[in-house]
């Protein structure tokens, strides 16, 4: 069996993957792979629509996911494709790792952590709605990391579905030319099957099991046959513009190119990852139409890890090819540690039976179970226990993970999402730059909402703290802290839904009882002017260790800082930049370790500002290490304490001088609503919400102007069945003319806005928003706060 694909995304038993496939995957567990064999593994990410019709998704295992019909947590499963029943003579099965990721903006961090580990993407769009705002944002992330992608137009069985409109949307909104590889077969207004443009055959038919024998009875004729020939010609024409190798074949064969030559050309173009051509497939996952053909396309067109560019990892503030960083050390009397394996943590899950599961992707070497792993983010060793791969509800224990593979590890007690794990040929702490390697370290966006919790008892407080710590390990975009004076806990997140889900997890999964306050806006505090240099000495006994540490701190407003002031080794965290300065005279041992401890002290101090206890934002903190007081034996806790004390003193003095301002999150909001409601919505944004409308677009009439890169007349899309039979299908189905309103609105006005919009639009609207910026609060609003 040839392992081929690790798939990230949202296959479901009745919706996206056929039930038979999931069952077969369970009946055919993964075999242990031989590291010496040349395994082809591919990681694929499926981005799907936000709604889950049946609530029985294999990867949506949380009760709240099934109740709300959305994906909240990413989940990884493994299966084989093709199944044994579909395997052709002489063919090979491929291992597919599937990661189901959330699409809601509140869980953007969860999704963005999965993007870098992927080798391929299937972007699933709604055949009724077309390309929606959240799809544009997600595809932009895939484009940023140059992840190859193909597109599946889903829900074509529903009223109002338009394959033509969806294909045009792809070209106009996703900045890539759609390459139509399949077209739907309609009988009047009903989807009956899917036809492959390359082979000119039916690859899926509603009501069958998609076996070759049943599909071979469907013969193309009449208008459908002509349309398939037209689609094939356009597909070849588009490929020849991007692929010189196919162009040479075309000069010999013309349009009668072999099917295999066309498929190889598509694979070459897709492998580049630039999205200039995006293969488009059609179907209805709910009716199991086109799904098996889509999975065949995964094997045919998406690359394996060996086809992908070499990973670039970060050392300090620079990115270098991984092979250069971990190259074999030069012969010496005492050679430095050698990296035996490197893996990236993309997901941490608390399983009631197995404990903490740490999902990793391996990039180098053989990662074995029961080994010590160096966490480059936390700068500490951890010991792993078991290692497994998950297939639906079953798990298969394995002894190792090879490059390109995805698996879950148990036993790691501190690893968080986004950490990098290394194994060495020695158990000693590495003293070289190898100890700081990071694979795309997480960029955690600042929180915009928070909620206050009160534990019912001392015992309940301990349970709550443990639950909060585990929850923040799963999702580092959730932050929490305890106010030692009031003994209240504050939990911050990316939005209302994010915190509602966190509450559900704490109550139902972790069984942590508490009194919950209301979800509120997470305001920030900022500096209006630079502080004076503040020196602090921390001396005493901490955890039984005595010592003395000192440093000085200067804090400046970030927006007033010249970029030349930033050092190479600076850290960005929660909208602030922290940099550590060491004296030029003399050498300081363990610089990286000292830098980490001082940084931790600064981060802790910035978590609560002096004015209202809100986090500090947009600050440049420069910490100068004092070697005259510190020594190599100074405990780490004292370094943390010195930096914390200096920052707090500087902020306190700034507050006394009236130099602390308040910032509020401002969201970029996209509202799609009927034209008859658009006037009332715009008036409400201006007058009641204190927002500003940036743009209003007619989704039906202004499509041709939506992209400067692709003209709608250059996009091939087959006609819909109703296109020439009636004026518009929208008229038949009672569809309204829709407008898209883009605005900037303070988040404080958006907490319950979706509910209020229902009254203005009769529920016929969609609302999406993302953090745009933080702005200073002034005037009466500042006094009210």
pLDDT, mean of residues 139-143: 83
* pLDDT at residue 68 greater than cutoff 70: no
Q: What are 200-257's pLDDT values in tens digits?
A: 999 998 877 777 777 877 888 888 899 999 999 999 999 999 999 999 999 988 888 9
User: CA-CA distances (angstroms) from residue 654 to 529, 580, 610?
Assistant: 8, 21, 9
pTM of the model as a whole: 0.74
* pLDDT on residue 14: 25
Q: What are 359-394's pLDDT values in tens digits?
A: 999 999 999 999 999 999 888 899 999 999 877 667
Q: Are 480 and 144 in contact (CB under 8 A)?
A: no
* pLDDT at residue 409 greater than cutoff 70: yes
* pLDDT on residue 758: 84
Q: What are 500-552's pLDDT values in tens digits?
A: 889 988 998 889 989 999 999 999 999 999 999 999 999 888 877 888 899 99
Q: What is the Cα 246 distance to its own chain's centre?
A: 35
pLDDT, mean of residues 619-645: 86
* pLDDT at residue 59 greater than cutoff 70: no
Domains of the chain: 6-307 (3.40.50.300), 312-436 (2.40.30.10), 449-521 (3.30.70.870), 529-658 (3.30.230.10), 662-784 (3.30.70.240)
Could you tell me what percent of the chain has a pLDDT over 70?
83
Summary mean pLDDT of the chain: 81
* pLDDT on residue 647: 96
Helices (H), 345-495: 458-474
Confidence tier at 483 by pLDDT (50, 70, 90): confident
- Identify which of 145, 122, 177, 86 has the alpha carbon closest to the alpha carbon of residue 6: 122
pLDDT, mean of residues 746-760: 86
Q: Mind giving me the DSSP string for 616-682?
A: B-SEEEEEEE-TTT--TT--HHHHHHHHHHHHHHHHHHHHHTT-EEEEEEEEEEEEEEEHHHHHHHH
Could you tell me what percent of the chain has a pLDDT over 90?
38
* pLDDT on residue 101: 61
Confidence tier at 466 by pLDDT (50, 70, 90): very high
* pLDDT on residue 209: 76
Least confident of 3-17, 117-131, 607-621: 3-17
Q: Are 274 and 144 in contact (CB under 8 A)?
A: no
Q: Are 350 and 470 in contact (CB under 8 A)?
A: yes
* pLDDT at residue 638 greater than cutoff 80: yes
Confidence tier at 754 by pLDDT (50, 70, 90): confident
Q: What are 269-309's pLDDT values in tens digits?
A: 999 998 899 999 999 988 889 999 999 999 999 988 888 88
* pLDDT at residue 29 greater than cutoff 70: no
Highest mean pLDDT among 444-448, 509-513, 570-574, 586-590: 509-513
Token pair belonging to 392: 């639906």
pLDDT, mean of residues 612-632: 87
Q: Give the C-alpha separation, 156 to 154, whole Å.
A: 6
Residue 130 DSSP class? B
Token pair belonging to 465: 């703290």
CA triplet 613, 614, 615: central angle to 5 degrees? 120
Tell me phi and psi for residue 332, to 5 degrees: -155, 170
Confidence tier at 105 by pLDDT (50, 70, 90): low
* pLDDT on residue 574: 83
Q: What is the end-to-end Cα distance of the chain in Å, rounded?
A: 63
pLDDT, mean of residues 346-359: 86
- Identify which of 104, 170, 116 has the alpha carbon closest to the alpha carbon of residue 143: 116
* pLDDT at residue 30 greater than cutoff 60: no
Confidence tier at 44 by pLDDT (50, 70, 90): very low
* pLDDT on residue 195: 94
* pLDDT on residue 649: 95
Q: Give the C-alpha separation, 142 to 8, whole Å.
A: 12
Residues whose CB falls within 8 Å of the CB of residue 608, separated by 6 or more in sequence, listed in order:
481, 614, 615
Angle, helices 591-606 vs 636-656, to 10°: value is 40
The dihedral through the CA atoms of 489, 493, 496, 502 has a sign that is negative
Q: Give the C-alpha separation, 208 to 189, whole Å.
A: 19
Least confident of 39-43, 84-88, 202-206: 39-43
The dihedral through the CA atoms of 198, 201, 206, 212 has a sign that is negative
Q: What are 73-82's pLDDT values in tens digits?
A: 445 677 788 8
* pLDDT on residue 545: 83
Residues whose CB falls within 8 Å of the CB of residue 442, separated by 6 or more in sequence, listed in order:
109, 113, 417, 418, 476
* pLDDT on residue 378: 85
């Amino acid at each position: 069996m040839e392992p081929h694909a690790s798939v990230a995304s949202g296959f479901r038993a009745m919706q996206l993957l056929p039930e038979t496939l999931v069952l077969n995957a369970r009946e055919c567990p993964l075999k242990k792979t031989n590291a010496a064999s040349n395994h082809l593994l591919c990681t694929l990410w499926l981005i799907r629509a936000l709604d889950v019709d049946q609530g029985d998704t294999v990867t949506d295992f949380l009760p709240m996911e099934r109740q709300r019909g959305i994906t909240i947590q990413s989940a990884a499963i493994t299966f084989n494709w093709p199944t044994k029943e579909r395997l052709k003579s002489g063919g090979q099965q491929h291992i597919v790792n599937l990661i189901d990721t959330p699409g809601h903006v509140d869980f953007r961090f969860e999704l963005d952590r999965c993007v870098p580990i992927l080798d391929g993407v299937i972007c699933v769009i709604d055949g009724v709605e077309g390309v929606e705002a959240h799809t544009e944002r997600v595809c932009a992330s895939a484009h940023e990391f140059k992840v190859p992608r193909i597109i599946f137009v889903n829900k074509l069985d529903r009223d109002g579905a338009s394959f033509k409109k969806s294909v045009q949307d792809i070209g106009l909104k996703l900045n890539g030319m759609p390459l139509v590889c399949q077209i739907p077969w309609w009988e009047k207004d009903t989807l009956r099957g899917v036809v492959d443009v390359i082979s000119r055959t039916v690859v899926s038919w509603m009501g069958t099991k998609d076996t070759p024998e049943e599909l071979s009875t469907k013969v193309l004729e009449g208008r459908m046959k002509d349309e398939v020939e037209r689609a094939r010609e356009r597909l070849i024409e588009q490929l020849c513009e991007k692929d010189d190798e196919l162009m040479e074949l075309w000069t010999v064969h013309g349009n009668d190119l072999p099917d295999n030559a066309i498929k190889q050309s598509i694979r070459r173009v897709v492998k580049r990852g630039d999205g200039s051509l995006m293969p488009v497939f059609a179907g209805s996952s709910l009716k199991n139409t086109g799904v098996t053909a889509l999975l065949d396309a995964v094997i045919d067109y998406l690359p394996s890890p060996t086809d992908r560019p070499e990973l670039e990892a970060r050392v300090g503030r620079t990115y270098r090819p991984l092979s250069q960083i971990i190259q074999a050390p030069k012969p010496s009397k005492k050679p430095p540690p050698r990296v035996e394996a490197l893996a990236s943590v993309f997901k941490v899950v608390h399983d009631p039976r197995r404990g903490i599961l740490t999902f990793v992707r391996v990039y180098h070497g053989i990662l074995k179970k029961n080994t010590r792993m160096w966490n480059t983010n936390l700068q500490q060793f951890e010991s792993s226990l078991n290692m497994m791969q998950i297939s639906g509800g079953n798990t298969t224990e394995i002894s190792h993970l090879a490059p390109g593979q995805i698996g879950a590890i148990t036993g790691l007690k501190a690893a968080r999402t986004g950490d990098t794990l290394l194994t060495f040929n020695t158990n000693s702490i590495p003293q070289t730059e190898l100890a700081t390697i990071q694979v795309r370290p997480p960029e955690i966006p600042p929180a915009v909402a928070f909620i206050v919790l009160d534990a019912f008892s001392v015992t309940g407080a301990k349970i709550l703290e443990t639950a909060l710590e585990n929850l923040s390990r799963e999702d580092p975009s959730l932050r929490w802290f305890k106010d030692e004076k009031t003994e209240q806990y504050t939990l911050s997140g990316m939005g209302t839904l994010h915190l509602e889900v966190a509450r559900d997890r704490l109550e139902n999964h972790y069984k942590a009882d508490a009194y919950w306050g209301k979800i509120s806006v997470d305001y920030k505090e900022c500096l209006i002017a630079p502080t004076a240099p503040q020196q602090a000495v921390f001396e005493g006994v901490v955890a039984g260790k005595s010592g003395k540490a000192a440093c000085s701190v200067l804090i400046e407003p970030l927006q007033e800082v010249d970029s030349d002031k930033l050092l190479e080794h600076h850290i960005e965290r929660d909208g602030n930049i922290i940099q550590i300065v060491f004296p030029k005279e003399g050498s300081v041992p363990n610089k990286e370790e000292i830098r980490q401890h001082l940084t931790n002290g600064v981060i802790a101090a910035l978590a609560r500002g002096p004015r209202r206890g809100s986090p500090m934002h947009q600050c440049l903190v420069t910490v100068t290490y004092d070697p005259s007081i510190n020594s190599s034996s100074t405990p780490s806790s004292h370094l943390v304490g010195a930096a914390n004390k200096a920052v707090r003193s500087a902020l306190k003095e700034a507050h006394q001088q009236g130099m602390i301002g308040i910032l509020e999150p401002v969201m970029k909001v996209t509202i799609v609503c009927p034209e008859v409601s658009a006037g009332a919505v715009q008036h409400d944004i201006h007058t009641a919400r204190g927002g500003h409308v940036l743009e209003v677009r007619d989704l039906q009439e202004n499509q041709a102007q939506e992209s400067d890169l692709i003209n709608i007349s250059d996009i091939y899309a087959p006609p819909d069945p109703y296109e020439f039979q009636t004026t518009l299908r929208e008229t038949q189905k009672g569809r309204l003319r829709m407008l898209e309103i883009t605005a900037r609105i303070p988040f404080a006005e958006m907490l319950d806005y979706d509910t209020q919009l229902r009254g203005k639009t009769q529920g016929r609207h969609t609302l999406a928003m993302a953090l745009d910026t933080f702005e200073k609060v002034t005037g009466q609003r500042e006094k009210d706060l």
